[in-house]
Amino acid sequence: RAAPGLTEIGTEVSDIVVFGSPGMDVDTADQLDTSARVWAARSEADWIKWIPSIRVFGFGHSTDPTDPAFGARTVAVDDAQGHDGYLVAGTSSLSCLTGAAIGTETRTECVRVGFGS
């Protein structure tokens, strides 16, 4: 199960943000069994995009959370460089991911229109 325990930590989780993820162990965001908004991001410069989203006999990765069919809200991280560049100080990706994580993200430059819910 993806993100185990999020609904059991004793406090209300309003937003879940995944970035640079090779896949999640559920097919859709709804299957996370949470009322939290689910956000996903992956930079075009991230090598993780080359990892296939497949599971065989319990090994591998599952659904790409940035795939529109997954149902996450997609966050813009255009200036993130590589797999470790999402949270670099001064980048718009850090600003957008922070806004998503604390539940205040509504800026049009951060939220990708037409992806997710």
What sign for the dihedral angle of Cα 21, 25, 30, 32?
negative
- Decide if 89 is inside a domain: yes
Q: What is the phi-psi region of residue 20: left when phi exceeds 0, alpha when psi lies from -120 to 50, beta otherwise? A: left
- Assign 101 to helix, strand or coil: helix
Q: Is the pTM of this model over 0.85?
A: no
pLDDT tens string, the chain, 117 residues long: the values are: 445 555 565 567 788 889 999 888 888 999 988 888 888 999 989 998 888 877 777 777 778 899 999 999 888 888 889 999 998 998 888 888 888 777 776 766 777 654 443
- Decide if 110 is inside a domain: no
**For the chain, what is the domain count?**
1
Domain containing 80: what range? 6-101
Helix residue ranges per DSSP H, 70-117? 92-101
